Structure 1
Amino acid sequence: MSDKIRKAGGMDRRHVLQAMAGVAGMAALGMPTVARAAGTIVVGTWGGDYARLLNKNIEKPFLISKGWEVIQDQKGDPERRAKMMAERRLPRGSTDLQALTGPNMYQVYQQGLTQALDYSKLPNAKHLLPSMKYEYGAGQIYSAMVPVFNPDKTKTPPKSYADALNPELGAALGFIDIQYQYTLLAAALAAGGSQTDLEPGKKLLLECRKAGARIYPTNESFAQGLKSEEITAGIMWKARTVQWQNAGINVASNAPAEGGLSYVTGFAIPKNARNVDGAHAYINAMMEPAAQEAFAHDMGYNPTVDNAEIPAELNKRIGFSKSEIDKLITPDFGFILEHDMEMKEWWDKEFKA
């Protein structure tokens, strides 16, 4: 063996063997060693609080600590779905998995952009609730769309979507731009339409906008509007209400009389993911009881596994009564898939104009 090979990188063969022996000895004694890189996982996700909590509750404790490198690709889901479509013919895409809502997980699978999950690679899935286990993805957290309001500034607390989406509220009513799909569905139910008849809801929303209702770009900016009392009412996931209460914002919620539109966020794997094993490792990690419990505490969302332990007082705040659960409405994902582009176009060109 030449000196050049023996002394590659300035360390001769004897020193390499000594270093290897040292590492083996440390492991035998139970001493910590530097984790071997397991690979890189690129996660498409929303930014803000959700991205921060993914890192805190899933990535750091269950992936990074085991040698995985996790990179977040933070964008709104319309932009991320468009990017997936643009990359669909590439042998390898830019992300390994995508955080998406229930209808959007369904949509990208129907479009042939994502692959079926391999549940043999997900040992924690034995605890996944049947309603959260899909061929095309796995549910991470769930809640429902509810009226939210400032209890000190509201004479009559809204108990329905119709109460919350009242044009008489004027500029005290706020909407969230990224929630256009569920807002259109809720408005349709409030105005006597249905999930497949949005026209009454569109008319109601335009009346609210004409009366001065405000539009906020993100969930976080809507929360700031509540905190400053620029607005006093709107609709949002019940889970977010709990999160905002924890942050000291004076906000409350009620289950809507029409029945709450259920909301699920989960993960799907692009067909051209570079690291499919890493994507499965991430999904398995998100089902860890500790990760699920942390999201319940931090964000107020209900766990999607049956082995997470949620304190009774917290469950009272984030959960739903049996009658409210019985009235939960699962969105018509097929209708949303077929009409999403026109829903977004109407929202951008008419409602936001």
Structure 2
Amino acid sequence: MTVVSSKSPKSLVDLRSLLKNLPPPAEDSGAAARARQAELTKPPGSLGRLEEIAEFLARWQGRAIPTLDRPLVLVFAGNHGIVAQGVSAYPPSVTQAMVDNFGAGGAAINQICKTFALNLKVVPLDLDSTTEDFTRAPAMNEADTAAYFARGMASVPADADLVIIGEMGIGNTTSAAAIYTALFGAAAAHWAGRGTGVDDAGLTRKIAAIEAACALHFAFLGDPLEVLRRLGGREIAAMAGAIAAARRASIPVLLDGYVACAAAAVLHAENPDAVAHCLAGHQSVEGAHADILARLGKKPLLDLNMRLGEASGAAVATGLVRAALACHSGMATFAEAQVAGKTEN
């Protein structure tokens, strides 16, 4: 498998450079897709967001008629030192157990991938250890942050035509909530949710941990990549890398839920254009995900009260993408069907 080629970043300076001067969409392909939609046997705009999806993919794939022949679900897994603060209902060992379950085909994402003919790649990130407890120290050092970002980049095959981004990691909703608190302001209680199902006492500990972390790292929170390093996790850094690599290779991305959007939020804060090639697969019920999507300028394709993670919501949304592309590529035009078009009065 050929992966997206790029010089591997070694530092936050390298990451900043990588996120500048990103390739634009192919507006000519988008215009051609829009023109085709106008000729298909339907009233103009009658397929609603399905038409928007087809045009979006055309712009970012650079094809007037996009494809969905090689879609890839990427699930990154990492463990978090913040779990020591009692913020999760489960221990870090569950992350490895779930990765094993993915490998055995027993998880929800396996069934969804089978249903929608999606390739699945799970990338475990040094699960035998955790990041640092970010209430006491930065979660990662600079070299590790860049290295996990690079691993995410290297996970994106150059021939993919859609990448679906997701994660697995006990404690990562606390990390995501801390990132949102740092990037967007507002109280930690606004961003924190129950994650895997913590009780009231666990939620209180979660909020307290986020507040403590933001106080400890306050002087650095104006720098989005420092926010990623200090409050993030290995899988969040890797998801950010995968999103960036897809952009550089003109591959559109479907974002999963609350934690995946934390990676997108870091990129957006560094350069708002860095996530222009991303669609929000769904709106999670975790935390303030609706608020997060609004800040990223993303309207979710689905809202099914899901909060599982592991790319499950975005993977389900690929059903809509397939329907959009089937209509765009397979419908007859008025001329082909010998159907009279709209008359001008």
Fold-level similarity (TM above 0.5): no
- Normalising by the smaller structure, the TM-score range is under 0.3
Q: Which has the higher strand share?
A: 1
- The structure having more radius of gyration, on CA atoms, is 1
Q: What TM-score does the superposition give when structure 1 sets the normalisation length? A: 0.25
Q: What TM-score does the superposition give when structure 2 sets the normalisation length? A: 0.25
